[in-house]
Structure 1
Amino acid sequence: MRDDSPDDWAAAQPDGFADLLTGAIDVHVHGQPDLATALPNRGDDLGVLRLAQRYGLAGWVLKSHLWPTTDRAALLQRAAGPDFTVRGSFTLNPTLGGVCPTVVELAAAHGATVIFLPTWGAAADVDRDGYVTTLLRRIAPSLDGFADERSVRVVDGDGRLTGAARETLDACAERGLSVGTGHLGLAESTAVVEYCAAIGHDRVLVTHPLHYVDDAAELRRFTDTGALVELAAAPLLHPEGHLHVRDLARAVHVLGPDRLVLSSDVFSRWVPPEPECLRVVAEQLRHLGVEPPALHRMLAVNPRRFLGLDQEPP
């Protein structure tokens, strides 16, 4: 039986098999472990990074639902060398103090590049009992009470951003940190995008918003305001997922590629390593008529814009 390691994945590919990923930066890589060592992904961080390099990727953003990834990113950056960019992030869930400008200031000092707003700690995600919560519940039996008491809404009863949310976004802008909207609801993400536009902070990514809309045209509220919108592979690969790759292709057709970002966002035992998931979705979108220049923009050009990287990708 063949060893199912990331190196074997790479060695088995014909020449040109992953050309669509040349220069790509995956802005949503969960790494190993994310939630718990007992919930492993396919391959350790360094092994999967080597696979990403062989596939032609140019970088990653490491994300965790629980803890900072800046230390791990720094170690992987040294191992990767200068031709592969690894960036760390903080996710403002209750375990890190929630939506708070002080956490952002400390994250910046610790080397973070991206701040993700709450995921499982967002009230919108608590209300829908999201997938991450179902996994965390297995690890922490007291989670439900913890999440209910500390869940975060970034808007008040009138739909306006809370003071803490405004101060947090101000801190991100002042320190040049990119912002991902996490698992906020549609109205909350809209308020975040509009506020960031008002203060001139354009490095904002609305993360997997297809969870909340059936018609991709609704996402023009974000792209017309200047934000980027993420299309992630993970929901397509979940056995209980409601999305199909045709939904992503339709979103590209409706919105155009100029404000879209393709990412992996996978961290489950039933999926291949992140670079292979990203490759599969890119190949399927190509099969459905999305042209290579559009894929390159969504995989390589727009992620660089999100991260504030100026260099032109390959």
Structure 2
Amino acid sequence: MHVHSAPDIRERAYTDFELMEAGIRVGAKGIVLKSHHGSTVERAFLVNEHNKIINNGMNNDFVMYGSITLNYGVGGLNPIAVETALKMGAKVVWLPTIHASNQIYKNGQVGGIQCVNQEGNVVENLVDILELIKKYNVVLGTGHLSPQEIFVVVKKAREIGVEKIVITHPEFWVVGMSSEEQERIVKEYDVILERCYAQPMGGGVYKSNLADNLEIIKRVGYKNVMVDTDGGQIENPNWEIALEQYMQFLLDNGVEEDKLNYMTKQIPAKLLGRSESI
């Protein structure tokens, strides 16, 4: 549900086509392409056409999915960009990440894209975007917002009727959501916590999240935790290796296989509208 690949502004471990090949090789049913710089819908379409051609029309059940991230590359909180991406098949709308005001602040700068105004309300353009997410029944990812912003946005999204809400790597230090806050948002709004393989600490250094991920599964329950990678960096193992290590860690530490299947297969299948048995 969250992999970065080339083309990108920074170097990535795989191109889109190479990522597709890795997915097919390990028996994955699908991958969501994410870019901090716009929409990946067109890229996903071309990957799926390429898959048909190189496999001579044989159905291998693999689908690449597109998404859109609402940073400055698409004009920030731009309802027109969102609607265009959704009409073309985007399955995830991520709120601002690298250009979120919270990330800009955590980086010691000022500015960035605001999702919540000074009165503590969701800004008007984001309300329009939430309405579009509801209309197309796709996933809302909370991006790199602060915990305080996330609670406000999720509350509004639920009021509007958005069904699929994923808290984007809440363990990431930029987001900085405490275990208590993660437990509370699950109890209050029944959201999915996307817990990822590792997080960047700066200077090309990544910190493993695995032990902390295990603890949050014990704390909130497996039905609200999605095992994910946020992979694609050259500093980390390739996506499929990172996912294998993550899954093996959980199995080795007492997470039963049926629960792991739920976190790695059933949750993403529901989010992506895959009706077949996974």
SS of residue in 1 equivalent to 2:261: helix
Question: 2 CA distance for matches of 1:214 and 1:170?
Answer: 26
- Amino acid of the structure 2 residue aligned with 1:271: N
CA offsets per residue over residues 136-158 of structure 1, 9 Å max, x none? xxxxxxxx7xxx55x11111123
Note the C-alpha offset of 1:206: 0.7
- Describe how 1:207-246 pairs up with structure 2 within 5 A: 207-211=168-172, 212-213=175-176, 215-224=178-187, 225-235=189-199, 240-246=205-211
Note the C-alpha offset of 1:63: 0.7
More relative contact order in 1 or in 2 (CA 8 Å, sep 6+)? Answer: 1
Note the C-alpha offset of 1:243: 4.9
Question: 2 CA distance for matches of 1:214 and 1:226?
Answer: 16
- Structure 1 unaligned regions, length at least 5: 1-26, 131-143
Task: Indicate conservation of the 8 Å contact 1:197/1:226, yes or no.
Answer: no
Which of 177, 180, 186 pairs up with 2:138? Answer: 177
- Describe how 1:25-36 pairs up with structure 2 within 5 A: 27-34=1-8, 36=9
Note the C-alpha offset of 1:163: 1.6
Q: Normalised by the size of structure 2, how large is the TM-score?
A: 0.88
Note the C-alpha offset of 1:245: 1.3
Q: Normalised by the size of structure 1, how large is the TM-score?
A: 0.79
Which of 289, 296, 300 pairs up with 2:261? Answer: 296
> Which residue does 2:75 correspond to in 1?
97
Residue 29 of structure 2 corresponds to residue 55 of structure 1: no
- Describe how 1:129-148 pairs up with structure 2 within 5 A: 129=107, 148=110
CA offsets per residue over residues 8-28 of structure 1, 9 Å max, x none? xxxxxxxxxxxxxxxxxxx00
SS of residue in 1 equivalent to 2:46: helix
- Amino acid of the structure 2 residue aligned with 1:60: I
SS of residue in 1 equivalent to 2:199: helix
- Amino acid of the structure 1 residue aligned with 2:277: E
Task: Indicate conservation of the 8 Å contact 1:236/1:245, yes or no.
Answer: no
How big is the alpha-carbon RMSD for the aligned residues of Structure 1 and Structure 2?
2.1
Question: What is the percentage of aligned positions where both structures have the same residue?
Answer: 27
Note the C-alpha offset of 1:109: 2.3
Question: 1 CA distance for matches of 2:200 and 2:144?
Answer: 17
Task: Indicate conservation of the 8 Å contact 1:216/1:250, yes or no.
Answer: no
1:237–1:266 Cα change, 3 Å: farther
Note the C-alpha offset of 1:30: 0.9
Which of 51, 62, 70 pairs up with 1:80? Answer: 51
- Describe how 1:220-299 pairs up with structure 2 within 5 A: 220-224=183-187, 225-235=189-199, 240-299=205-264
CA offsets per residue over residues 77-106 of structure 1, 9 Å max, x none? 123354012110110101101112222111
Task: Indicate conservation of the 8 Å contact 2:3/2:230, yes or no.
Answer: yes
CA offsets per residue over residues 33-82 of structure 1, 9 Å max, x none? 32x2xx32223322232222221211011110013111110111123354
Question: 2 CA distance for matches of 1:288 and 1:236?
Answer: 24
Note the C-alpha offset of 1:241: 4.2
Note the C-alpha offset of 1:213: 4.3
Which of 121, 130, 142 pairs up with 1:160? Answer: 121
Question: 2 CA distance for matches of 1:70 and 1:28?
Answer: 14
- Structure 2 unaligned regions, length at least 5: 53-58
